[in-house]
């Protein structure tokens, strides 16, 4: 399975933004164990400057204004304010 192999930084989210699965590659980059992030809100590890844009894009998806979106999102490394991504 794609999630299980390689150094890819992938996250599968529920509709409410809860992390259902996070790849080992992203966990390693951020300094977390998988069990620490599964079930948490993705906002907990999102760089504060990216939260508003992310919420706006999700709202547009939910309203049907967008069918998809892409942007380079930054995440916070465990125990620091340093960003990754």
Which tokens is 84 given?
A: 């990754």
- Top pLDDT among 70 and 4 is at 70
Give the HSE-up count for residue 5: Cα atoms under 13 Å, Cβ half-sphere. Answer: 2
Residue spans of the domains in the chain: they are: 2-79
pTM over 0.85: no
Of the candidates 30, 33, 10, 32, which has an alpha carbon nearest to the alpha carbon of residue 21?
10
| Each residue's pLDDT tens digit, 62-85 | 899 999 888 888 999 998 766 666
What pLDDT score was predicted for residue 51?
A: 93
Choosing among 3.20.20.70, 2.40.160.100, 3.30.450.20, 3.80.30.20, the CATH entry for 2-79 is 3.30.450.20
pLDDT digits (tens, 9 = 90+) for 6-60: 567 888 888 888 999 999 989 998 999 999 999 999 999 999 999 999 899 889 9
pLDDT at res. 5? 57
Sign, Cα dihedral of 76, 82, 84, 85: positive
């Amino acid at each position: 399975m794609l999630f299980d192999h390689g150094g890819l930084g992938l996250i599968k989210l529920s509709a409410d933004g809860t992390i259902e699965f996070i790849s080992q590659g992203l966990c390693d980059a951020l300094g977390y164990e998988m069990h620490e992030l599964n079930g948490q809100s993705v906002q907990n590890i999102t760089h504060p400057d990216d939260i508003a844009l992310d919420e706006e894009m999700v709202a547009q998806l939910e309203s049907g204004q967008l069918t998809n979106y892409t942007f380079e999102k930054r995440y916070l490394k465990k125990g620091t304010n340093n960003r990754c991504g």
